[in-house]
Amino acid sequence: ILKSFLVIYSPGSIRFKMKNFDQPQIKNLQEHWAELAEVTVHTFSFLKNQNFSNDSFRAKNAAIPLMYYFQETGLYQTCAKTTFSTKEPTAGITTDIIHWLTISFLKNIFSGQTDKLLRDLHDIIKQYGTNRHFPFSEIIREFRTTNKNYTVDDDFLDQILDYRYQRPGTEYVLRLLQGAINPELNYEQDHLHPKSVFGNKKELEATFTNNEDLKFAQDEANWNSIANLQLLEKISNIDKSNTPLAQWASNPSVSANLYIPEGTSLELKDFRAFIEARRSAIRRMIKEAVTQ
């Protein structure tokens, strides 16, 4: 809370030094205490509505630039409402915030000493942030040549695309793909091609006549990885259950962006081509998000 105060309301140093809490600063804190409390509560309500928990919000200091953005733009008065993430223009703002947070967590941007990071983020938000724009692209640009850069090279993409079901980091990658969520709904990690089929040896052997394709489908690194995972709204996930992907995806009510390139077969017999196509699509989406 004290660090948040320094970032939001103190024009100078944000380090924990006695001179940063002298009498004028204490008076400054008293004058802004009510607003700071409101900004804090609404920011964490927003994060909770966007499905972050105490465990999944990996670095609490990451909330401070967001608090400053909400305070500077006045959006803290509306950011905790359930409509914030579902109606324009705030839907785009929420998606950019989610992209910034998830990349920050995936790349451990907030590890180590963060005072300079927080001050630089403050300055970028002050210069470019508006109530219709969260400056994600400007943050990427300004940090490109620093040791806190958001660059995603091929090695990094290979690493996160290999993340598996309910393992550390998987939720962040899926949130990156999902963007803003409807806070009135609950979301779960789910396998697109149902998990159950990959434990059925007879069905796999009957489906794949090519031995290499069979081995590919049996390998957990393929069927249990990001390329076969998606965040789905809980009710949709229950309805989907063990339904074959091709049958489930043909339902008009399925509206989620599954990052499956047009023309890609959803039949189990084409599982290898599906995984390769979806990995490429996800890789492209993440690169585009972080090179805007």
Say if residue 231 is in the same domain as residue 180. yes
- My answer on whether 14 and 145 are in the same domain is yes
Which tens digits make up the pLDDT trace of 200-228? 999 999 999 999 999 999 999 999 999 99
Give CA–CA dist 19/21, Å, rounded: 5
The per-residue pLDDT for 255 is 62
Same domain, residue pair 200 and 128: no
For the segment 21-75, what is each residue's pLDDT rounded down to a tens digit? 889 889 999 999 999 999 999 999 999 999 898 888 989 999 999 999 999 999 9
**pLDDT for the residue 62:** 97
Q: Are residues 46 and 146 in the same domain?
A: yes
Same domain, 179 and 275: yes
Q: What is the pLDDT of residue 21?
A: 87
Domain boundary among 119, 151, 183: 151
Buried b (16+ CB within 10 A) or exposed e, 9-46: beeeebeeeeeebeeebeebbeeeeeebeebbebbbbb
Whether residue 168 contacts residue 220, with contact meaning beta carbons closer than 8 Å, is answered with: no
Q: Are 39 and 71 in contact (CB under 8 A)?
A: yes
Scored b (16 or more CB within 10 A) or e, 138-148 reads bbbebbeeeeb
Give the model's pLDDT for residue 1.
92
Regarding whether 107 and 164 lie in a shared domain, the answer is no
Is 67 found in the same domain as 32? yes
113-156 residue pLDDT tens: 999 999 999 999 999 999 999 999 999 999 999 999 888 889 99
**Residue 190 is inside which H or E element, if any?**
strand 187-191
Q: Per-residue pLDDT tens for 71-114? A: 999 999 888 776 666 666 677 899 999 999 999 999 999 998 99
Rg of the Cα trace of the chain? 22
**182 and 86 within one domain:** no
Enter the tokens of residue 74: 């006045």
pLDDT at site 236: 66
Query: Quick check: 237 pLDDT over 70?
Result: no
**Domain finish residue from 125, 151, 177:** 151
- The string of pLDDT tens digits covering residues 246-291 is 999 888 777 667 899 999 999 999 999 999 999 999 999 998 888 7
Q: How far apart are CA 31 and CA 96, in angstroms?
A: 32
Query: Residue 80 sits in which domain range?
Result: 2-151
Q: Are residues 109 and 23 in the same domain?
A: yes
pLDDT one-digit tens code per residue, 223-234: 999 999 999 887
Q: Are residues 84 and 38 in the same domain?
A: yes
Domain identity same for 280 and 170 = yes
Q: What's the mean pLDDT when you consider all of the chain?
A: 90
Domain total in the chain: 2
Which of 81, 116, 151 delimits the end of a domain? Answer: 151
If asked whether residues 15 and 132 sit together in one domain, one would say: yes
**Chain segment 161-201, per-residue pLDDT in tens:** 999 999 989 999 999 998 888 888 888 899 999 999 999 99
